[in-house]
Amino acid sequence: MTLDRCIACEEVAVEERIEPYVVEHDGKSATIQDGRMVCTACGNVSYRGSQISEHELAVAAAIRQMDGLLSADELLRIRTKYSLKQTDMEQMLSTGPKTWTRWERGKVPQNKPADKLIRLLAEDPELTRQLMRQAGVINEEAEAAIERFEQDAKRLMRTMVMSKVGTAPSAEMQRFAERVAEEAFETVRDARRQVVARGQAA
């Protein structure tokens, strides 16, 4: 094993180790395995090269787990689900520049209120569209993706209506199913809008 010189005591006694590291956050704690440089003479701990980035990622991941937050990979999947850019998400969530980038890279965990809103966006394309418009986000790919989700939802509703009828689908019955599905879709969408509006007013 090749030892390095310690910047604290100047002894040639620094070696690479993987040791337990306790992450403390908001009254909770978690232990991660931490890659680091340790001086066997004076005990000084330092990080070099990729160890710094790996340490930051592991600490942020531990905090996310303790708080029950979405992972960095989940944030990426939600954003790309709607074909949104990182800057789009920052506008929609009213965060500072590069905030979403740091969240998605995994080095900084998002706060709990932002996490809750992101979960709602993941489940509700219409809410995503509303926030896009409120924030002035112009993204044609995202609008098209939201439209596809809505069309898929309407098709599913038509299928469910037809399955309840249980008869051979006549042209008249298909039109009826489409009308019921459209009304059901709009009712659900209006209900979600009211819930969001009440939440914003509270």
Q: Which pair of structure tokens corresponds to residue 169? A: 């689908």
* 19 burial via Cβ count (<10 Å: 0-12, 13-18, 19+): exposed
* 60 burial via Cβ count (<10 Å: 0-12, 13-18, 19+): buried
* pLDDT band per the 50, 70, 90 thresholds, residue 197: low
pLDDT tens, residue by residue, 38-66: 999 999 999 999 999 999 999 999 999 99
In total, the chain counts a number of residues equal to 202
The ranges assigned to domains in the chain are 4-67, 72-201
* pLDDT band per the 50, 70, 90 thresholds, residue 179: confident
pLDDT of 18 strictly over 70: yes
Over residues 74-103, the mean pLDDT reads 96
CA distance 13 to 77: 45
pLDDT of 188 strictly over 90: no
CA distance 12 to 5: 4
Q: What is the mean pLDDT of the chain?
A: 89
Residue 120's nearest CA partner among 70, 185, 162 is 70
pLDDT of 201 strictly over 90: no
CATH topology classification for 4-67: Ubiquitin-like (UB roll) (3.10.20)
* Global confidence as pTM: 0.78
pLDDT tens, residue by residue, 92-146: 999 999 999 999 999 999 999 999 999 999 988 989 999 999 999 999 999 999 9
- pLDDT value of position 158: 75
